[in-house]
C-alpha cells in the first residue's frame, strides 16, 4: 500500500515538474485536451442548464395538463392558421359540461387574457397582460403568492374588483412589491380594483408561457366586465387525476368535446387538445442531437490531444533514459516503470482537463451575467471529466511507458 502511494506521489511530482520546467511545450501539447474537455463540459453544462430551465417552465404549464384551444400549439412553415382561425373559441359553459363528462380529471379551469394599461396614482404601465381565471386555476398553475393572499371562493362568485399582481408590475408601480397590497389600481375601461396579493418572483422564461411577473390576475367574473369572452383568447385547462394517464385523458376529452359540440362522425375536430408533455419529448430529441454534435467536436480535439500527450511522454522517456536504466539496475520491475509513466501521463491529462474545466467555470459567470440565464456545471460532469482525463492519459502513455519498460539497463545508463 505504501509502495503504491509512493509510486503515485512520485508520478504526480514528475508531472508537475514537467509542466513547470517546460511550460510552453507542455501547454501546447495539452491544448487539444484542454479544448476537447472545454467543448464537452461547455456543451453538456449548457444542455443540462437548458433542460432544467425548460423542465421548470413546462412544470409551470401544469403537470399532466391538456390545453383545449382552437389553436394547435405547434409551429413551422406549414402551420395551417387559416383553418384554426375559423374554429369556434372555447366557452365558459363548456367547462361545466366537461366536469360531468370527464370525471377522471382532477381539476378544470377556464382562462382568458388580454393586454392593456394599469395605472396607480401618477404611474402608468402599458402592455400589461390580464389573466381572467376560474377557481381551480391555481391548482393547475404555480401561482404562489408572496405577499397578501390569493382569491377566495366568494371573490370568484361575486366577481369582486380584486387583483393579484405580478412581482415586476408591483415593483414598477409602487417601488416595492410589499407596498402593493391594499393599493387601488385603475384597469381597462376605467375599472378600479384593489390589490390583494403579489405573485412570487418567477424570473424570465425560456419558452414563454405564463409570465406572471409582468401580469395581473383577476377572477373570470370580473374580467368579463372588461372584455367579451370571445375577445380574450379563451382556453380550457384540464388536469388528469392521479389514476388517469394523460393519453387516456386526451381520448376522453376528445370524445367529450365532440359530444358537447355535436360533431357528426364524418366531421373533423374543431378544437385542439394540446398536451404540454409532448413538447418535453420533442425537446429531448433536439438536445440529444446537440449532445452528439458536441461529443463529435470534442472527440476530434481529444484525439489531437492524445497525440500531443504521447509526444510529451516520448520526449520524457528519451530525457530520462539514464534514470530508467539506473532504476532497472537496482531492481525496478517493468511493471513499476510502466506504472510510473502511465500515471504521469494521466496526471498531465488531468492538469489539462482542470484547465479546461476552469475555463468553462469562468465562462458560466460571464454567460449568467450577460444573458441573465443561470448556467451550472453538474457534479456528474466534473466526475466524467476526471474519468475521461484518466482514460486519455492511460491511452496516450501506453506506448511510451512500454518503450521505457523494455529498455536494457546497461544500454540506458550509457546513453548519456
| Lookup result for grid cell 514528475 | 14
State what percent of residues in the chain have pLDDT above 70: 85
Q: What is the pLDDT of residues 211-234, one digit of tens each?
A: 888 999 999 999 999 998 888 899
Phi, psi for 196 (deg, rounded to 5): -105, -15
Widest Cα–Cα separation across the chain: 101
Lowest mean pLDDT segment, chosen from 68-72, 216-220, 335-339: 335-339
CA 350 – CA 34 distance, rounded (Å)? 10
Averaged pLDDT, 312-322 = 78
pLDDT band at residue 126 using 50, 70 and 90 as cut-offs: very high
pTM assigned to the model: 0.68
- What are the structural domain ranges in the chain? 2-57+281-413, 88-270
Kindly state the helix (H) or strand (E) to which residue 196 belongs, with its residue range: strand 192-199
Nearest residue to 131 via CA among 240, 201, 227, 238: 227
CB distance 94 to 297 below 8 Å: no
Averaged pLDDT, 47-61 = 70
| Lookup result for grid cell 509526444 | 311
Q: What pLDDT, on the 0 to 100 scale, is given for residue 371? A: 67
Note every long-range contact of 401-406, with CB atoms under 8 Å and residues 24 or more positions apart, other chains counting.
401/313, 401/337, 401/338, 401/339, 401/340, 401/341, 401/342, 401/345, 402/338, 403/314, 403/317, 404/317, 404/320, 404/324, 404/337, 404/338, 404/341, 405/334, 405/335, 405/337, 405/338, 405/341, 406/334
Nearest residue to 69 via CA among 208, 278, 274: 274
Q: Is it the case that residue 165 has pLDDT exceeding 90?
A: yes
Dihedral (CA of 163, 166, 171, 173) sign = negative
Amino acid at each position: 500500500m505504501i509502495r503504491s502511494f509512493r509510486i503515485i506521489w512520485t508520478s504526480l511530482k514528475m508531472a508537475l515538474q514537467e509542466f513547470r520546467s517546460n511550460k510552453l511545450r507542455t501547454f501546447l501539447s495539452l491544448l487539444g485536451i484542454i479544448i476537447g474537455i472545454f467543448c464537452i463540459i461547455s456543451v453538456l453544462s449548457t444542455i443540462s442548464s437548458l433542460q432544467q430551465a425548460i423542465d421548470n417552465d413546462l412544470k409551470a404549464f401544469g403537470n399532466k395538463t391538456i390545453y383545449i384551444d382552437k389553436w394547435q400549439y405547434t409551429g413551422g412553415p406549414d402551420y395551417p392558421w387559416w383553418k384554426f382561425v375559423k374554429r369556434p373559441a372555447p366557452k365558459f359553459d363548456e367547462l361545466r359540461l366537461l366536469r360531468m363528462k370527464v370525471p377522471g380529471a382532477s381539476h378544470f379551469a377556464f382562462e382568458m387574457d388580454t393586454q392593456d394599461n394599469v395605472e396607480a396614482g401618477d404611474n402608468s404601465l402599458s402592455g400589461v397582460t390580464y389573466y381572467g381565471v376560474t377557481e381551480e386555476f391555481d391548482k393547475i398553475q404555480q401561482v404562489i403568492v408572496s405577499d397578501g393572499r390569493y382569491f377566495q371562493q366568494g371573490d370568484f362568485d361575486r366577481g369582486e374588483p380584486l387583483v393579484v399582481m405580478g412581482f415586476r408590475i408591483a415593483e414598477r408601480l409602487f417601488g416595492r412589491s410589499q407596498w402593493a397590497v391594499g393599493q387601488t389600481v385603475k384597469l381597462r375601461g376605467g375599472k378600479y380594483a384593489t390589490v390583494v396579493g403579489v405573485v412570487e418572483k418567477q424570473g424570465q422564461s425560456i419558452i414563454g408561457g405564463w409570465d406572471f411577473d409582468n401580469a395581473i390576475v383577476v377572477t373570470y367574473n370580473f374580467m368579463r366586465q372588461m372584455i367579451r369572452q370571445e375577445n380574450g383568447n379563451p382556453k380550457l385547462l384540464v388536469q388528469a387525476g392521479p389514476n388517469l394517464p394523460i393519453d387516456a385523458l386526451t381520448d376522453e376529452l376528445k370524445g367529450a368535446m365532440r359530444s358537447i359540440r355535436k360533431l357528426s362522425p364524418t366531421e373533423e375536430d374543431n378544437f385542439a387538445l394540446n398536451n404540454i408533455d409532448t413538447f418535453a419529448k420533442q425537446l429531448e430529441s433536439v438536445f440529444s442531437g446537440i449532445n452528439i454534435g458536441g461529443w463529435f467536436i470534442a472527440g476530434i480535439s481529444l484525439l489531437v490531444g492524445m497525440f500531443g500527450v504521447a509526444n510529451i511522454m516520448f520526449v520524457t522517456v528519451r530525457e530520462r533514459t539514464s534514470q530508467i536504466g539506473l532504476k532497472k539496475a537496482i531492481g525496478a520491475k517493468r511493471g513499476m516503470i510502466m506504472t510510473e509513466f502511465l500515471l504521469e501521463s494521466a496526471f498531465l491529462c488531468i492538469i489539462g482537463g482542470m484547465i479546461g474545466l476552469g475555463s468553462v467555470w469562468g465562462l458560466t459567470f460571464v454567460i449568467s451575467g450577460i444573458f441573465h440565464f443561470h448556467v451550472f456545471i453538474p457534479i456528474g460532469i466534473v466526475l466524467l471529466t476526471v474519468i475521461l482525463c484518466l482514460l486519455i492519459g492511460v491511452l496516450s502513455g501506453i506506448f511510451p511507458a512500454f518503450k521505457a519498460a523494455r529498455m536494457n539497463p546497461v544500454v540506458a545508463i550509457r546513453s548519456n
